[in-house]
Amino acid sequence: MNTADLPASDLVQLTRSGQVTATAVVEDALARIESRNPGLNAFSVVLAEQARAAASALDELCAAGGVLGPLHGVPVAIKEELDVAGCVTTFGGRGNTTPVAADGEVVRRLRAAGALIVGKTRMPEFGQWPFTESVDGGITRNPWDRSHTPGGSSGGTAAAVASGMVPVAIGGDGGGSIRIPAAYCGLFGLKPTRGRVTSDPMEHLWWGLGTTGPLTRTVMDSAIAYDVIRGNLASDRFTAPEPERSFIAAAGSDPGRLRIGWSNVPVAPGVRPAPEHAGAVEETARLLAELGHDVRQVDPGYPDPTGPFVAQFLAGVRAEADAMENFGALEPRTRQTYRLGSWVTPQILEKALTAGEKVSVRANRVFDGVDVLLTPTIGPRPRRVGALNRGGTVTMALRSRPVVAWTALWNVTGNPAASVPTGLAPDGLPVAVQLVGRIGDECTLLALSAQLERARGWPLLTDPDRD
């Protein structure tokens, strides 16, 4: 048995019962990383010896009858933007060179739960774009077809999970950066409610646009990880109230009969979903009706989130750039983004945050009539690698617009939203749909996503070593 093929939920049962050691699990994961990462470039750093030492300590704890955590013996990878003790927090670039002394709170919680941190994963600099290519890190490739991008900005995270190197990897979402790579790579990716997960050591992530979360091959694995990392610190600018029940309980429950509205109406004028994506929404709507839900086509009446999103995005990039050790080492395009954002003064930013609250009120009116909104996750099909990484900030923003058209709105509003796989398109790459819920209602999305997973499943990559 190669434990690298198992979901985290199974690994926890095996390691906690003593049927498999954490050392055996981490060796399987490291062997996968050694064989598969060179062709994919998912990992920027592999922490092999640290992971082995941590696994040995867990095995001793298990043998001594100690208290074992909910992620006991599970290999987990961490996106470059999160602090891991002894590693440089690169944000996908060369602006920092000094390793951090301590884990960020999310990583600390993962370790306390028994997770084995095996490395850090690639991202575009500061997570600006929905693909994963950078001057420092090169090109990260989609395990389903290496000529295509895995999406971004959590592209390394997605490639690591989809290729079976780890069952859980932590990403972040400031405009779709969990959901887009999940859609490109056939994974489950839930962006939680704003403030659900601490932003430590930072006060906020892009003034509330951004949040941290896992990408996984199963809904339950995501629920397990979220129950470990969710919760706030006093330093967090944005917080969320405790959910009514654990996410594990939600993922293991029946969602009941829900009112589900579906729509292929574009958020951004002139952007239409690829036929495969529009068809996936309609097919999923039919399946949900067969499962007993009240399903109807709706016009969500989307407000335009562009103004607040652009201001928060630019201000977020500038804040992260200002914190770098060496501004001059940043990519030329990032420095151009920095200059373009100079108009976002503190006063303009506060106005943008107020405007975002108004956008949220308008966008959430759709939930007066439905419990869940079903839409495409992305507009176009996944692009080939290198196709997007040409041009300056404005050019890149225009090219990225169709990709984030259905995701970025929910970063402005703070709603939870999940990308759920639906199958494969004729091009051999995954297809997905997006489920959006009321603010604070991740539990409904987890229960509904798990029901879809049981009803039709979704394809897992079986040959990630192919060219």
User: Which residues are identified as catalytic?
Assistant: 79, 153, 177
Residue 33, CB half-sphere, CA atoms under 13 Å: how many?
28
Contact 420, 188 (CB under 8 A): yes
Q: Which residues of 3-41 are buried (b: 16+ CB within 10 A; e: fewer)?
A: bbebbbbbbbebbbeeebbbbbbbbbbbebbeebbebbb
Which conformational region is residue 339 in: left (phi greater than 0), alpha (psi within -120 to 50 degrees), or beta? alpha
Alpha-carbon span 59 to 15, nearest angstrom: 9
Alpha-carbon span 136 to 428, nearest angstrom: 30
Helix 22-40 / helix 155-162 crossing angle, nearest 10 deg: 120
The CA-CA-CA angle for residues 136, 172, 431, to 5°, reads 95
Alpha-carbon span 383 to 412, nearest angstrom: 25
